[in-house]
Amino acid sequence: MPTSDDLKQRIEDALPGALVTVEDLTGGGDHFRAEIVSDSFEGLSRIQQHKLVYEVFGAEVGGPIHALSIKTSIPGGAS
Amino acid sequence: MTNTEIREFIDNAIQENPVMLFMKGSPEQPACGFSARTAACLNALGVRYAALDILPDPRIREELSGLSSWPTIPQLFVNGELVGGADIVTEMYDNGELADLLGAEQPEDADEAATQSEAPVGNVPLPLENRLD
């Protein structure tokens, strides 16, 4: 079962320099909320930004990770 | 019904319905909090939308996510384009972008409206389970 720290680590590995906070919403290891601030989102639409994060986990989202709620933003700028 | 037929059905539903919501359960009886939240935003804006329950057959979700490259449910499409899931739709509802996109009026008390409105659902596609023979 993944933990908040696992998810945080994997997002940080995939998006170097990103500021990531991950919260386990239920404590059950399957419903998470992630907030990510990263330069990688520059120039991307909101949906592309979210897809970038979902791609880190592939088929695990919808599988072992039932729900991953995402909020993305760019450092110093609007999302 | 084959996977290809399911995918074609989904594709058609997206093309034929200007506002198309794929969700768990129905707008009247959502089966998941995220789906409920997304349907509530559409309800609050009073727009007509089509909704399809993905739960009756796991292949609906597989094919939908294959088509959209989006892993979770709900998924809202407007004019054939994926707008997003519950987070994006809620954020766009709160900041008025969703009302703009759909040509609807932003309710004066947006939070209140999202908790109270009933679904004005129109032209709901025939549920897939009826076509699985």
Question: Cβ(B26)–Cβ(B51) under 8 Å?
Answer: yes
Beta-carbon separation of B65 and A50 below 8 A: no
ipTM, two decimals = 0.72
State pLDDT tens for residues B78-126. 999 999 999 999 999 999 999 999 999 988 888 888 876 666 555 455 5
Give me the pLDDT at residue A78, please: 53
Q: Which is more confidently placed, A20 or A76?
A: A20
Contact B87 A59 (CB under 8 A): no
Q: Taking CB atoms and an 8 Å cutoff, what residues of chain B touch A69?
A: 34, 86-87
| A16-73 pLDDT tens trace | 999 999 999 988 888 899 999 999 999 999 999 999 999 999 889 888 898 899 999 9
Distance from CA of B88 to the nearest CA of A (A): 8
Q: Structure pTM?
A: 0.84
CB B35 within 8 A of CB B74: yes
Cβ partners under 8 Å of residue B126, min gap 6: none
**Which chain B residue has the Cα nearest residue A66?**
B72
At residue B114, the pLDDT reads 80
